[in-house]
Amino acid sequence: MTRTVVASATKEIIIGFDQPFCVIGERINPTGRKKLAAEMIEDNFETVEKDALAQVAAGATMLDVNAGVTAVNPNETEPPLLVKTLEIVQRLVDVPLSIDSSVTAAIEAGLKVAKGRPLVNSVTGEEEKLEAILPLIKKYDVPVVAISNDETGISEDPDVRFEVARKIVQRAADYGIPAHDIVVDPLVMPIGAMGSAGDQVFKLLRRLKEELKVNTTCGLSNISFGLPHRHGINSAFIPMVIASGMTSAIMNPCRPQEMEAVRAANVLAGHDPNCQEWIMSYRDHTPAAPGVTPSAEATAPSSGRRRGGRAARRGAA
């Protein structure tokens, strides 16, 4: 059985088909968040700290950390900012981290300071990226997210995206990187723009599990991009991708409706022994009054009950 091991300084997590779904918190990312970007540029990490703690309290298994605040000289500005952000986050929480950057120098700088065994987000099928990122993955012995696009862009044909994933797995093997350390992102398209997007990703996930035998992830909320009441779509999508073989997702754990779907899917897939996580999360749950939407704070489990949980492609809400 394919198992991808990630770890913080004190906690090891396994991503796998026989494991609870891995929730990778997406909130520490300034893309599309002008206030957060401005704060980070000004060396203000108050929101970063708040988001780190809130996501873990809500049940995040891991946290994605991105410091791409500006397109101006990212090779110079992003590495030190990513390093500082990683150091702050790993002082606050004990979950594994995902180092999220498109800048190779920033990824390597992050790998030098990250504790445990972080996930690198990401490599694509572009030759330049493969040659830059795969040696780092081998050197630091860490797993990597493999995004299914290459020099031709993102194909609307799921078979093309599968072949890009196969190419990345094969090239990684040339570097001595095992398939269990490749976590494929099959690229979820917005259902509002492509009516077949859901069916495409379900079929892709089954092929990735059965043929390549790799773990998978995605920017979960991209499926609902552009639609009203996005969290209804997202929460329905979660058990469907899990049933198709997806083992992790980059998502917002502070959305109670979506985390409820994750926990329910874990129960129904047999990945929550004796329903313990479900019971600990909801035994004191009080349903909201009709017409009232509960807040994240009101419905998220307390920190004592937690599991120890780019940007357009994620479609972050």
Which domains, and CATH codes, for the chain? 3-281+297-314 (3.20.20.20)
- Is residue 15 within 8 Å of 247, Cβ to Cβ? yes
Query: Angle 230-244/256-268 helices, nearest 10 degrees?
Result: 20
C-alpha distances (whole Å) from 282 to each of 186, 238, 276, 293, 298 are 32, 19, 10, 17, 12
Residues forming beta bridges with residue 295, ordered by sequence position: none
Using alpha carbons only, what angle is made at residue 240 by residues 239 and 242, rounded to the nearest 5 degrees?
Answer: 60
The sign of the torsion formed by the CA atoms of 225, 231, 233, 237 equals positive
Using alpha carbons only, what angle is made at residue 251 by residues 246 and 257, rounded to the nearest 5 degrees?
Answer: 95
* Pairing mode of beta strands 248-251, 22-28: parallel
The pLDDT, as a whole number, for residue 301 is 40
Name the amino acid, one letter, at 240: M
The pLDDT, as a whole number, for residue 313 is 43
Name the amino acid, one letter, at 46: E
CA atoms of 29 and 315, how far apart (whole Å): 12
pTM for this entry: 0.90
Residues forming beta bridges with residue 147, ordered by sequence position: 185
The pLDDT, as a whole number, for residue 286 is 80
Spell out the alpha helix ranges (H) of 60-157.
74-92, 104-113, 127-140
**Closest-CA residue to 85 (of 93, 215, 58):** 93
Please name the helix (run of DSSP H) or strand (run of DSSP E) that holds residue 225, with its range, or none.
Answer: none
CA atoms of 219 and 214, how far apart (whole Å): 17
The encoded tokens of residue 277 equal: 């996580």
Q: What's the gap between Cα 285 and its chain centre?
A: 27
**How many C-beta neighbours within 10 Å does residue 40 have?**
23
Spell out the alpha helix ranges (H) of 208-303.
230-244, 256-268, 276-282, 296-299
* Residue recorded with tokens 């997806």: 246
CA atoms of 47 and 90, how far apart (whole Å): 15
Name the amino acid, one letter, at 293: T
Q: What is the pLDDT along the chain (317 residues), one digit of tens a residue?
A: 899 999 999 999 999 999 999 999 999 999 999 999 999 999 999 999 999 999 999 999 999 999 999 877 899 999 999 999 999 999 999 999 999 999 999 999 999 999 999 999 999 999 999 999 999 999 999 999 999 999 999 999 999 999 999 999 999 999 999 999 999 999 999 999 999 999 999 999 999 999 999 999 999 999 999 999 999 999 999 999 999 999 999 999 999 999 999 999 999 999 999 999 999 999 988 876 666 555 544 444 433 333 333 444 444 44
Q: Which residues, 6+ apart, have CB-to-CB distance to 15 below 8 Å? A: 3, 4, 5, 6, 22, 183, 215, 247, 248
